[in-house]
């Protein structure tokens, strides 16, 4: 499609080079639409959608080529410069990499015939069960006419057929595709996204619906205006962070899931005035939160409480969650809590680990959550590096292996923050703070 059809008004022109086709010009001219009727608006919307698809495909092809030159870590870092969150940036980088093996699919996206989301589904399936050329083209044709939800089912069926001789049942193949993600969304909200095989998914739905129904009956008695979505969210929090108070082998819900005991409508009670309703048979789960709180010695009061990521919380909220969670202070220097061990010992102390979590907040390489990370000596212990807080950073196991086995180095950026640098990219050796050769850890 000629993007020049979006004409009437100012235009933005960018020139690029498409693989195998020489020089190409992408000409997007944005039309004025005030005063247009519905029919004309629909026409422009369809044209704009086609242009968006082409640009999405072209961008993905560019990122794939950039990944060939600089590596996938560099692609993800570049995507972050678009203003994308870490989760979206990682997803875009993975899509650009997977579609390099499916040139026809990528070309269909570049031409605007299919969306980049359709292409991504095919790329992910190809990684699990390779597509032949003919199979790829067949799915591209189907992708043109099916919406994304339908197409996911089509690709799943195709994958099952391609893997028919791998000795696995369809349920076992579904289990392989299970996934769970927790990441920061907009406006300081936290987003959970999970996909389960059918059996596990039904168990989750049964447990969630049971507790949500109990909360609905409680809301009906109390006159609460909590919405269905809010009840589901509260039920999910309860199921994840709390546990049955009188759990035993007989505590199985009516659907047989065993995830949450089910009683009658009287088995639910409200635990505070803010609507944090949980079942009376549900008790707090052991949870640990790391918070930073200033203490005003003049007034003798706590002030400026915040979570590990810097999100401020009210002191009243801190008191409330203290009932359900163990509160651990962020310790940087305190009597009896040494943060500088020198060469006395190799392993970090509990206080040092807490200080690292409060300072780095996540893996300095990939952003993995701090609780899954390990302490790494910037100047390695075997090279006489001390076990001091200034010589330690948080690395997830995967990034830790990159340093010790693949030549990655911990360096400081312009702001003085520790970052992980790939050996495949130019490293300012004067600022490198650790060895880049693989030696014994």
Same domain, 427 and 280: no
Long-range contacts of 230-237 (CB under 8 A, 24+ apart): 232/208, 234/275, 234/276, 234/277, 234/278, 235/208, 235/211, 236/192, 236/208
Percent of the chain with pLDDT over 70: 68
Mean pLDDT, each 10-residue run in order, the chain (441 residues): 34 40 52 82 87 90 89 85 78 89 92 92 91 93 92 89 76 81 80 85 84 85 89 90 52 36 32 40 55 66 67 68 55 54 79 84 86 88 87 91 89 88 58 38 34
Q: Residue 354 belongs to what domain range?
A: 338-441
Residue 322 and residue 267 share a domain: no
Q: Is residue 242 part of a domain?
A: yes
What is the rounded distance in angstroms from the CA atom of residue 107 to the CA atom of residue 113? 9
Q: Which of 250, 284, 318 is the endpoint of a domain?
A: 284
Q: Are the beta carbons of 400 and 394 closer than 8 angstroms? A: no
Q: Is residue 184, in this structure, part of any structural domain at all?
A: no
Same domain, 221 and 164: no
CA distance 191 to 232: 14
Domain annotation covers residue 187: no
Please give the sequence-ordered ranges of beta strands (E in DSSP) within 161-260, or none if there are none.
179-184, 190-195, 242-244
pTM: 0.48
Other Cβ atoms closer than 10 A to 54: 19
What does the block give as tokens for 76? Answer: 């993800």
Cβ contacts of 141 within 8 Å, gap of 6 or more:
none
Nearest C-alpha neighbor of 157 from the set 167, 145, 142: 142
Task: Write down the residue that tokens 């579904």 correspond to.
Answer: 174
- The pLDDT tens digits for 155-201 are 988 988 888 777 777 777 778 888 898 887 777 788 898 988 877 88
- Give first-to-last CA distance, the chain, whole Å: 57
Closest to 317 (Cα-Cα) out of 358, 268, 371, 276: 276
Tokens of 431: 């600022």
State the total domains in the chain.
4
- Would 18 be classed as within a structural domain? yes
Q: Is 191 a member of any domain?
A: no
């Amino acid at each position: 499609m000629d993007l020049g059809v979006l004409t009437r008004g100012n235009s933005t022109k960018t020139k690029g080079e498409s693989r195998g086709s020489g020089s190409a010009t992408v000409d997007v001219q944005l039309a004025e639409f005030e005063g247009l009727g519905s029919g004309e608006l629909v026409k422009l919307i369809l044209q704009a959608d086609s242009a968006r698809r082409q640009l999405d495909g072209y961008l993905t092809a560019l990122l794939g080529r950039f990944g060939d030159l600089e590596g996938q870590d560099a692609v993800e870092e570049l995507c972050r410069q678009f203003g994308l969150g870490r989760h979206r940036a990682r997803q875009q980088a993975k899509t650009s990499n997977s579609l390099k093996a499916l040139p026809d699919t990528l070309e269909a996206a570049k031409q605007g015939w299919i969306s980049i989301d359709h292409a991504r589904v095919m790329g992910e399936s190809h990684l699990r069960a390779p597509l032949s050329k003919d199979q790829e083209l067949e799915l591209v044709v189907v992708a043109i006419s099916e919406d994304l939800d339908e197409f996911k089912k089509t690709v799943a069926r195709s994958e099952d057929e391609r893997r028919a001789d791998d000795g696995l049942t369809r349920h076992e193949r579904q289990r392989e595709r299970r996934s769970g993600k927790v990441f920061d969304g907009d406006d300081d909200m936290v987003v959970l996204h999970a996909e389960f095989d059918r059996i596990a998914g039904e168990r989750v739905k049964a447990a969630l619906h049971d507790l949500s129904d109990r909360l609905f009956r409680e809301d009906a008695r109390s006159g609460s205006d909590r919405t269905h979505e809010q009840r589901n969210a509260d039920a999910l929090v309860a199921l994840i962070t709390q546990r049955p108070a009188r759990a035993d082998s007989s505590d199985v819900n009516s659907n047989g899931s065993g995830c949450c005991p089910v009683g009658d409508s009287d088995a639910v009670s409200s635990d505070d005035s803010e609507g944090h309703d949980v079942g009376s048979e549900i008790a707090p789960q052991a949870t640990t939160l790391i918070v930073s709180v200033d203490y005003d010695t003049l007034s003798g009061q706590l002030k400026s409480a915040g979570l590990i990521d810097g999100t401020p919380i009210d002191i009243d909220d801190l008191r409330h969650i203290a009932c359900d969670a163990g509160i651990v202070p962020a310790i940087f220097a305190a009597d009896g809590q040494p943060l500088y061990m020198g060469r006395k010992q190799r392993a970090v102390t509990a206080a040092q680990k807490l200080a690292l979590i409060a300072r780095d907040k996540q893996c300095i390489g990939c952003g993995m959550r701090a609780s899954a990370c390990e302490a790494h000596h910037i100047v390695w212990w075997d090279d006489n590096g001390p076990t001091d807080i200034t010589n330690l950073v948080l690395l997830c196991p995967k990034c830790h292996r990159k340093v010790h086995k693949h030549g990655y180095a911990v360096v400081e950026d312009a702001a003085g923050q520790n970052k992980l640098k790939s050996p495949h990219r130019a490293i300012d050796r004067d600022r490198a703070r650790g060895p880049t050769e693989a030696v014994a850890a």
